[in-house]
Structure 1
Amino acid sequence: MNMAVTWAIQTNFITEDHIRRVWTAAEDAGARVQEIKVIPFSDELGNEVPELDGVVIPYGATKLTRLAIERGWRGLCFDAQTFRVDCWNRHRDDMLNQHVRQMTVRECMAAMQDEDEDSIWFVRPVQDLKHFDGTVTVAKEIRRWMSSVDSGNYSFDGETEVIVAPPQKIHAEWRFFIVDGRVVDGSSYRIAGQRMANPVARPELYEQAQSLADGWLPHPTCVMDVAQTDDGFKVIEFNTFNSSGFYAHDIDKIVAAVTAHFAAQPFGAGRD
Structure 2
Amino acid sequence: MHWILQRNLINPADLSRFEHALEARGTAYSLVSLVPFFHELVSEPGDLPEEGIFVYGSTGLGNVAKARGWKPGYFDANLDYELLLNMYGSRALNSSAICASLAELPRTWDRFFIRPTLDSKSFAGTVMTWQELEEFRDGVARVSNAPDVTLLPGDRVVMAPLTEIEVEFRLFAIDGVIVTGSRYKVGEHLSVSSEVPSAVREFAQACVDDWMPNKAFTIDVAITGGQMKIIELNSANSAGVYACDVGALVDAVNSRL
Aligned pair 1:95/2:95, yes or no?
A: no
Aligned pair 1:13/2:6, yes or no?
A: no
Moved over 4 A (4+): none
After superposition, the C-alpha distances for 1:13-40 in whole angstroms (9 at most, x for unaligned) are 3312212221221222221111221112
Amino acid at match of 1:123: I
After superposition, the C-alpha distances for 1:168-222 in whole angstroms (9 at most, x for unaligned) are 2322110001121111111111123322111124333322332222221111321
1:40 corresponds to: 36
Do the aligned partners of 1:148 and 1:154 also contact (CA within 8 Å) in 2?
Answer: no
Q: Distance in 1 between matches of 2:87 and 2:197?
A: 28
1:187 corresponds to: 182
* Among 57, 60, 64, the residue aligned to 1:60: 57
Aligned pair 1:215/2:206, yes or no?
A: no
Aligned pair 1:140/2:131, yes or no?
A: yes
Q: What secondary structure, in the 3-state scheme, does the structure 1 residue paired with 2:193 have?
A: coil
Stretches of structure 2 that go unaligned for 5 or more consecutive residues are none
Q: Distance in 1 between matches of 2:197 and 2:98?
A: 36
Q: Distance in 2 between matches of 1:42 and 1:106?
A: 27
Q: Distance in 2 between matches of 1:23 and 1:147?
A: 44
Q: What secondary structure, in the 3-state scheme, does the structure 1 residue paired with 2:210 have?
A: coil
Give the number of equivalent residue pairs: 251
Q: Distance in 2 between matches of 1:41 and 1:194?
A: 30
Deviates more, 1:98-107 or 1:181-190: 98-107
CA 1:99–1:66: 2 relative to 1, 3 Å: farther
The answer to which structure, 1 or 2, has the higher relative contact order (CA under 8 A, 6+ apart) is 1
RMSD of equivalent CA atoms: 2.2
Compute the displacement of 1:45 (Å). Answer: 1.4
Do the aligned partners of 2:65 and 2:74 also contact (CA within 8 Å) in 1?
Answer: no
Question: TM-score, normalised on structure 2?
Answer: 0.88
Stretches of structure 1 that go unaligned for 5 or more consecutive residues are 263-272
2:101 corresponds to: 104
Do the aligned partners of 2:183 and 2:193 also contact (CA within 8 Å) in 1?
Answer: yes
Compute the displacement of 1:77 (Å). Answer: 4.7
